[in-house]
Amino acid sequence: MRMVDLIEKKRDGGSLSKEEIQFIIDGYTKGDIPDYQLSAFLMTVFYQDMTDEEITNMTLAMASSGEMIDLSGIQGIKVDKHSTGGVGDTTTLILAPLVASVGVSVAKMSGRGLGYTGGTIDKLEAIPGFQVELPDEKFIQLVNESHVAVIGQSGDLAPADKKLYALRDVTATVNSIPLIASSIMSKKIAAGADAIVLDVTTGEGAFMKNIEEARRLAETMVRIGKLANRQTMAVISDMSQPLGEAIGNSLEIVEAIETLQGNGPEDLVEMCYALGSQMVVLAEKAATLEEARGLLEEALASGKALEKFREMIRNQGGDDTIVDEPARLLSAKYQIELPAKSTGVVQKIVANEIGIAAMLLGAGRATKEDAINYAVGIKLHKKVGMPVKEGESLLTIYADSENIDEVKELIYKNIEIGDSGEEPVLIHDIITL
């Protein structure tokens, strides 16, 4: 097989066979096919699209390009959850104990964050003592005994995706549905998921700028999940403003605890029920989304979900007394209120820019080597659609320095107050196919 012939075939609108796709992914991962040929290939995919069968074959080839995690030692159906990107997205921290408390096995391997705020693993490390690195046997034992463990990604998961993503980033081919779908699904399959729940976010700063594109991506991933024997469901959600109120590592742990105590922000709670219900149905612990939601509401109201979070922290060596005294985690030197400059209604809070503001405070990494400051971040008091008076606090900045004029300016630039504004629709669609 010659790469140039495959590029030509795709360029002229043809479909590639399983063997041809395997040849491309293997060849590129090993370094036998050069960047310039892969770049040309990616651009033809960008313009010509791919069939579901092609995307499925590409997904499976990428998944098996490195280590495939074997979770067969864990009883039951292992359901994983993935978001295409959010700011202040605390859902995983809540969902893991919430769905585990109704008997769903959550064997979660999460990543660290780059940019914005930390990833789930960084957030968990804000809990004193919490171990995110466990030997495989211990990880599997904990999930079997307690239904939940969350650890950092180790090893060499889907190296083809890492290489391809880096190339897409510099060839203007990130924003292609077959390439995004195969990138996301390959990592979930390599991580051992039997079933997958996807949160496809839309809005300014998200990968998918509008609902139609988001729906196409979600439906594509649900269809290829089925073809790859991984039942998949998706929620299409709004990420035009940050989810919940907290952005920052310790702040989000506190927000997760408050949510599990029954005092969470409405939008965050709703997202957790929407995604959690799909996880429960896919794990076959309920027959319908409605029944699943009932189980989750009961687990939250009874305190069962909060107890599961405490158990998870204890199991992984963390200080579980923070569940009773979450405020201890908020150790930033300064808490600075940001007053509204005018009276009106909040019209816009640009999610990704607020994420950058949190990163500038030290809550995220600008480069892989940066250390994270767990204590800093932002707590929103006003969200889109809420009335505000001049001088009233829009949000609190948790900082370790008083020198934050740049951050304040960035935030002011990205919060609009006007005459009228409406609370955005949070969940645009539920895709189950």
> Any idea which residues carry the catalytic annotation?
82, 161, 168, 183, 187
In DSSP notation, 327-344 reads GGG---SEEEEEE-SS-E
Helix (H) or strand (E) holding 192: none
Classify residue 244 as left (phi > 0), alpha (psi -120 to 50) or beta.
left
Near Ca ion in 36-95, by CB under 5 A? 88, 90
User: Closest CB to ligand URA among 59 and 84?
Assistant: 84
- Kindly state whether residue 180 participates in binding ligand URA, applying the rule CB under 6 A: yes
How far apart (Å, rounded) are the C-alpha atoms in residues 187 and 73?
Answer: 20
326 binds Ca ion (CB under 5 A): no
Q: How far is the CB of 249 from ligand URA (least distance, A)?
A: 21
d(CA 372, CA 376) in angstroms, rounded, equals: 9
Q: Which two tokens stand for residue 202?
A: 């839309």
Within 10 A of 308 (CB to CB), how many other CB atoms are there? 23
244 binds, among Ca ion, ligand URA, none (CB under 5 to 8 A by kind): Ca ion
Contacted by 84, from Ca ion, ligand URA, none: CB < 5 to 8 Å by type: ligand URA
Given Ca ion, ligand URA, none, residue 184, with its beta carbon under 5 to 8 Å by kind, binds: ligand URA
**Does 153 sit near ligand URA (CB under 6 A)?**
no
Which of 62, 184, 222, 330: binder of ligand URA (CB under 6 A)?
184
In the numeric block, which tokens belong to residue 106?
Answer: 């959550």
Tell me if 198 contacts ligand URA by CB under 6 A.
Answer: no
Q: Which two structure tokens, joined as six digits, stand for 270? A: 């709703």
Kindly provide the residue ranges of all beta strands, DSSP E only, lying in 292-400, ordered along the sequence. 334-339, 344-349, 377-380, 387-388, 393-399
**CA 304/CA 102 separation, integer angstroms:** 9
Which stretch in 243-251, 295-303, 334-342, 385-393 sits in contact with Ca ion by CB under 5 A? 243-251
- Closest to ligand URA by CB, 179 vs 251, is 179
Q: If contact means CB under 5 to 8 A according to the sort of partner, which of Ca ion, ligand URA, none does residue 315 touch? A: none
Applying CB under 6 A, which of residues 90, 105, 153, 183 lies at the interface with ligand URA? 183
Cβ proximity to Ca ion, 177 vs 357, nearer residue: 357
Nearer to ligand URA, 84 or 414 (CB): 84
Residue 158 binds ligand URA, judged by CB under 6 A: no
Amino acid at 316: Q
Partner whose footprint covers residue 94, from ligand URA, Ca ion, none (CB < 5 to 8 Å by kind): none
For the record, the structure tokens of 114 come out as 């780059």
What, of Ca ion, ligand URA, none, does residue 246 touch, CB below 5 to 8 Å by kind?
A: Ca ion
| Binding region for ligand URA (CB under 6 A) out of 175-183, 234-242, 284-292, 328-336 | 175-183
**Residue 421 touches Ca ion, criterion: CB under 5 A:** no
Return the number of the residue (83 or 105) whose C-beta is nearest ligand URA: 83
DSSP 326: G
Tokens for 259, please give them: 């949510």
Q: Does 207 bind ligand URA (CB under 6 A)?
A: yes
Query: In DSSP terms, which residues pair with 198 in a beta bridge?
Result: 82, 234
Which structure tokens are listed for 368?
């892989």
Shortest CB 272 distance to Ca ion, Å: 11
Q: How many residues bind ligand URA (CB under 6 A)?
A: 6
| C-alpha dist (Å) from residue 224 to 167, 217, 221, 233, 263 | 23, 11, 5, 11, 37
The closest of 351, 420, 425 to 388, measured between CA atoms, is 420
Which stretches of the chain bind ligand URA, using CB under 6 A?
A: 84, 179-180, 183-184, 207
